[in-house]
Structure 1
Amino acid sequence: MYFGDVGHTVYTMFFTGLFGLLLAAPVYALVWILTRRRFPAKAGMHALRYLFLTYLICVGMLTLVPSGFDMQGGVNLVPFSSIAEAFLSTSEVALGLIFLNVLMFVPMGIFLPWVFPKVDRLYKAVLISFGATLLIELLQVLLPGGRAFDVDDIILNTFGGAIGYSLFALGSMLAKKKKPLLREKIACIAALVLLPAVLFGFLAAENGREFKYGFPYTLMVPEEAEFTGREAYPETAMTYVRVLQPQEETLSALAETFSLSGTPEKEGNSFVLRTADAYLSVFPDYGWIYSMRSPTGLPNERPADEIAAEAEAFLRQHGLWADGLQAAEVNETLGVDPDGTERSSGKQVVYAADEADHTVTGWLSVFFDNSGIYEVSSSLYRYAPYREAKLASPGEALADVLKTHRCYVTAEFDAVTLHPQKAVLDTAELVYDWGMSSGRQNLPVWKLSGTFYGDGEQARGTIMVPAILE
């Protein structure tokens, strides 16, 4: 199961919670001053109300603050449509959002009967959760930021509230603090029984992706598409799986390579080794970065071929060079001044793996300033042949992926945001795309090329669809 960059998620949640705690303090103090005589409470109840207010602030921050990942807005009024699409496509992002939408409102269902004793029935908690999430969805449309109104979010949030209340009711029953009606017991048990059913469906969809391409985003999906090619295409192709070794072993080998000594530390999901002059980190995906010093912030004006030669010599000297790397690509690197403006801060030399070699993917990067090399990073991964898989024909693969409306499309229209209504694809090429493959695999993909049509315009473009037949 994958929820993206876990370390970044934990970091975001921690600071959201911390900010919520700080913001809730003056708000709660004002509310207490205005209502202390009408609604007196003991210290424990004050703490509970304060935590509930913090939770509400955090939910508001997570749902109403403009997001850089959802800038198109929109409205979905068809119940269960986006939920069904997520399970059919098995998109990691879409499935994760289903789980998180349910999880986000579980505390709501727990807090409501605890803070407000009159919320003593499941239907009351469900109505309040429904009203709260409906308000959020309406505000998402009205407030700037381009978020979308989705009826499925309301369904998932309300279900989370029902689960939360049911957990609270179950705890009360076990503690013998409440003797609920029979119908209340049945309702709470039904809500809790649905939870493992949802989790089972989620895990089943995830596990079903062993050799299915996982597209995390929908980009410019045509409303209709056809494949008109008539060439003969292969019926099977080899799949590849990443060769892994423990992060600690990778870090130990790199430390020896760079003559570093010290005790590694675990930071989130990464292993880090710090010395007085250097920093070495191995990431969860087994990529790594080695910083020898802080950059001076000045560009390196030497000829590109001279910089590339020095970078290659450094990589070979430390045993980091890999056969089959493509010719160096030398680019400007950007830094940020205190006022937020970008500026050139040096050169980056990138050596990418040969796309024809399916056993090595990714790239090595070497960073220069006027004083020479200051950082090296690697996203170079090795793969081993795993098994030969049956392939769908390009036409069959295209028809299958259009059912879920999740595929990656590039088309050079004059307007970047133009949505293609139709695609006529005439050629197919079997390529490998490790960047979006699931389960750390390098899988065969059909790259279909042709003409895309939209709003009276047409352009040549490509669409990537999974090639493996399931």
Structure 2
Amino acid sequence: MSISGVIQIARQYLVVGSIVAFLIAILFLVGYFVVYKKVLKGTKKLEISKLALWAIFLIYIIVVLGATLGIRTPGYGGNINLHLFSSYKGALNSFSKVEWRNIILNILMFVPLGILLPLIFKKCRKYWVAYLVGFLATVFLELIQLVTGKGIFELDDIFNNTLGCIIGYGIVMIFILCFIDKKKESKNKSLKLTSLQIPLFATIIAFGMVFINYSKQELGNLDISYIYRQDMSNINVNTKLKFKNKSDKAYVYKAPVGSSEDTLKVANEVFRAVDAQIDESQNNVYDDTIVYRSSDGNYSVWVNYAGLTTWYSDFTGHDSKGKDGLSYEEVKTLVKNFDIELPEKADFKNDGDGNYTISVDMVEVDGNYLDGEFTCTISDSDVVTGFTNNIIPYEKYKEYEIISEQEAYDKILNGEFRFYLIDNNSKIENLKIDIKDVNLSYYMDSKGFYQPVYEFTLKYTDIEPVILIPALK
């Protein structure tokens, strides 16, 4: 989800929270002035500041519940992730802006709680009380998600939310100790205020070091890298292969990583083929892609920054019948109208109903190496009604030492891999993995480099998935 989407959701529940708080405030005021003052003859004065704080607190609770539960539909099946910092390791491996933003938002979401608790409840001005309440609040929220199936019970969420509460507490105590409780603990006030800011500064420094170190490293990270070790006690790995035990060298390749101007140029080339113009008011900009739409609403194209890959749709041709039996040369000629040059050497497949797939595996063309897959749909009137172009031109970057096949296999035996068919949150009994083949393949990292990886092909029930092991030493 884009940051604008997050803001939109928060805005919606802010409106809902404000309406609920307003209605409750009216009921409270009616009860205070009519029942308490007139009927019961009460003399206690109403503190507007406390009333305002309670209203803000109520609005905040509604926004948090809406953002964490209201926008989700049940379907997580009560999953539990007890691997602490697994979200951090996952974000580090992919170095996705979305994943880092989710972590930061999880921290920031509970900062207001840490600020409001000491202002509303005097007992919460003791640090351990505020910390405990923040911890219990996030545990309660995670349990609700677990029971309702509207989220995953994660230790990382508990850590992040509690950290946010601690940071908020440290911030508000500057105000409380300097302006509200001026006379209390005057001797140790400076030391206490400084110590309370340690979590905030430690968090800023930690995130800063991660991003600085990442910007300085030569290559990117691989999201296929394992986050935590698999429990191999119930996983039986078998193979009849003999793996090479000798280290070797392999090239790393560099893919083009475009700017927003580059994506616009690609989109214009696509729309030019169908005599359409881009309606910039309809552009959707995401972290890794931009969606362009034509002014007449008939066409759209998604352009990714990494590799400048594209996904084109012609909405006028969705109901048309597909044309089968085309040759590779005929398909090449039709897609050339979109300024797409398919290589001479490629694997060509007719998928039926006018769908075609063209695959290339590091084919050298004009000094570049093409790798990836191109799929398209062609109507019976010879119109390309859609295509996905994931063929990327790579150029040689540098040669590196890689681990041996045996070392890669040992990583599997040690559980140092990611495998989507394995449920990491439950015990697996008598799971058998048969390794049928191993090849040196390539995988794009987070900086647009094409790194060598070992691809282990498995026989698992009726399908043959793969396990990818990073090959660079």
Q: State whether TM-score is above 0.5.
A: yes
- For 1:298-337, what per-residue CA distance to the aligned partner results, in whole angstroms no more than 9, with x for missing partners? 25154x22497764322123431221443144366xxxxx
Partner of 1:283: 303
Greater helix fraction, Structure 1 or Structure 2: 2
Partner of 2:384: 373
- 1:298 equivalenced with 2:313 (yes/no): no
Partner of 2:472: 468
Shift of 1:390: 1.0
Letter in 2 for 1:359: Y
Q: Per the alignment, in what secondary structure is the counterpart of residue 197 of structure 2?
A: helix
Shift of 1:142: 2.5
Shift of 1:194: 2.2
Q: TM-score, normalised by structure 2?
A: 0.72
- Whichever of the two has the greater Rg, that structure is 2
Partner of 1:16: 9
Partner of 2:196: 188
Partner of 2:158: 154
Shift of 1:27: 2.8
Q: Give runs of aligned pairs for residues 28-427 of structure 1, distance below 5 A.
A: 28-36=21-29, 37=32, 40=46, 42=48, 49-64=54-69, 70-71=76-77, 73-74=79-80, 76=82, 81-83=83-85, 86-87=88-89, 90-92=92-94, 98-114=103-119, 119-145=124-150, 147-170=151-174, 179=182, 181=185, 182=188, 184-200=192-208, 202-203=210-211, 210=219, 212-215=221-224, 221=230, 223=232, 229-231=242-244, 235-252=248-265, 254-255=267-268, 257-258=272-273, 259-260=275-276, 264=280, 267-269=284-286, 270=290, 272=292, 274-276=294-296, 279=299, 281=301, 283-285=303-305, 286-292=308-314, 294-295=315-316, 297-302=318-323, 304-306=324-326, 311-323=331-343, 324-330=345-351, 348-354=355-361, 359-368=369-378, 372-400=383-411, 405-408=416-419, 421=431, 423=433, 425=435, 427=437
Over 3 Å counting, the alpha-carbon distance change for 1:212 and 1:393 in structure 2 is farther
Shift of 1:245: 3.9
Gaps of 5+ in 2: 37-44
Equivalent pairs, count: 428
Shift of 1:130: 1.1
Over 3 Å counting, the alpha-carbon distance change for 1:24 and 1:447 in structure 2 is same
Give % identity: 18
Over 3 Å counting, the alpha-carbon distance change for 1:463 and 1:291 in structure 2 is closer
Shift of 1:63: 3.5
Shift of 1:243: 1.7
CA distance in 1, matches of 2:225, 2:28: 48
Over 3 Å counting, the alpha-carbon distance change for 1:298 and 1:211 in structure 2 is closer
Over 3 Å counting, the alpha-carbon distance change for 1:450 and 1:10 in structure 2 is closer
Q: Per the alignment, in what secondary structure is the counterpart of residue 454 of structure 2?
A: strand
Q: Is the 8 A contact 1:431 1:445 kept in 2?
A: yes
Once the two structures are overlaid, the 10-residue window that deviates more, 133-142 or 179-188, is 179-188
CA distance in 2, matches of 1:402, 1:60: 42
Q: Per the alignment, in what secondary structure is the counterpart of residue 295 of structure 1?
A: helix
Over 3 Å counting, the alpha-carbon distance change for 1:392 and 1:136 in structure 2 is same
Over 3 Å counting, the alpha-carbon distance change for 1:210 and 1:403 in structure 2 is farther
Shift of 1:30: 4.0
Q: Is the 8 A contact 2:379 2:385 kept in 1?
A: yes
Question: RMSD across aligned C-alpha pairs, in angstroms?
Answer: 4.3
Q: Is the 8 A contact 1:390 1:468 kept in 2?
A: yes
Q: Per the alignment, in what secondary structure is the counterpart of residue 353 of structure 1?
A: strand
Letter in 2 for 1:213: L
Shift of 1:160: 1.2
Q: Is the 8 A contact 2:74 2:149 kept in 1?
A: no
Q: Is the 8 A contact 2:456 2:466 kept in 1?
A: yes
Q: TM-score, normalised by structure 1?
A: 0.73
CA distance in 1, matches of 2:100, 2:409: 22
Once the two structures are overlaid, the 10-residue window that deviates more, 215-224 or 20-29, is 215-224
- For 1:391-423, what per-residue CA distance to the aligned partner results, in whole angstroms no more than 9, with x for missing partners? 112332344577674423669xxxxx9676565
Gaps of 5+ in 1: 1-7, 333-346, 412-416
